[in-house]
Structure 1
Amino acid sequence: MKSKSIIILIISLLFLIIILQNTQVVTLQLFFWKIEMSRIILLILTLLIGAVIGYAVAEIGAGRHKNK
């Protein structure tokens, strides 16, 4: 396995452990909205949003290097 794959596997396992230990219901208050959801769902949404932002930033950076 490549080192990148091993790092991704380790991070995924750590995230899974964190998710399984956080099953409580939390209240998310954003501006004037108040949403109650499981902490697991909030963590997964946060991970997905971070992954999308990371991918977008990487693509923008790759596009800049490609044009030079």
Structure 2
Amino acid sequence: MQPKIIVILVLAALLLIVLIQNTQPVTFRILFWKIHISQIIFMPLMVALGFVIGFICGKVNKFRHKNKET
């Protein structure tokens, strides 16, 4: 197996363990809203949001770097 796949599998397993152990409800407050949601749903949403923000920041940085060269 490739090392990259092993690292991804280990991280996915750790994330799954954390999710299974955190099932209690949490209150998410943003501005005027209060959202009551299970932590097992909230955590993957925040992980996905972090990946999306990181992906967008990476693309913007790459785009700026590419335009700087021309």
Settle same-fold status: TM greater than 0.5.
yes
Give TM-score scaled by structure 2 length: 0.80
The answer for the alignment partner of 2:44 in structure 1 is 44
The answer for the alignment partner of 1:24 in structure 2 is 24
Aligned residue for 1:23, secondary structure, equals coil
Give TM-score scaled by structure 1 length: 0.82
Q: Which runs of 4+ in 1 moved over 3 A?
A: 64-67
Residue type at the aligned position of 2:17: I
| % identity of equivalent residues | 44
Unaligned runs of 5+ in 2: none
What do you get for the CA RMSD once the two structures are aligned? 1.6
Please identify the structure whose Cα radius of gyration is greater. Answer: 2
Unaligned runs of 5+ in 1: none
Q: How many equivalent residue pairs? A: 68
